[in-house]
Amino acid sequence: MNLGKGIPQLPSGDIEITAEFFESMLGFKVKAKFPDYGHLILTRDDAEIHFWRPESENHARTIGSDSSCNIRVENVPELYKELKE
């Protein structure tokens, strides 16, 4: 038996703004977007993050302040250089 990787599900006050930020600033791609259900799936390389929309942006901030997501990176200086450009 072998378990696969875990996929974080984080709150977002606005999935359109979240998608735009992760695409333009962090190099992620939208894998799927379900605006009617308030769900967004983003990927970059082997990383995958899901976002869901709580009942309000305020609630998203409250939940988000207690949430975290760690992504292992093989070459941090290379990623830093890419994001800095």
Q: Is position 60 within any domain?
A: yes
Token pair 């390389």 in the structure block, residue:
45
Domain residues for the domain of 78 are 9-84
Q: pLDDT tens, 15-52?
A: 999 999 999 999 999 999 999 999 999 999 999 999 99
pLDDT at 67 over 90: no
Q: Is residue 3 part of a domain?
A: no
Asked, for residue 1, whether it belongs to a domain, the answer is: no
Element holding 41 (H helix, E strand): strand 39-44
Question: What's this model's pTM, rounded to 2 decimal places?
Answer: 0.87
If one counts the domains in the chain, the total is: 1
Does some domain include residue 4? Answer: no
**How many Cβ atoms sit within 10 Å of the Cβ of residue 8?**
14
Say if residue 4's pLDDT is above 90.
Answer: no
* CATH number, domain with residue 73: 3.10.180.10
* Residue 30 counted as domain residue: yes
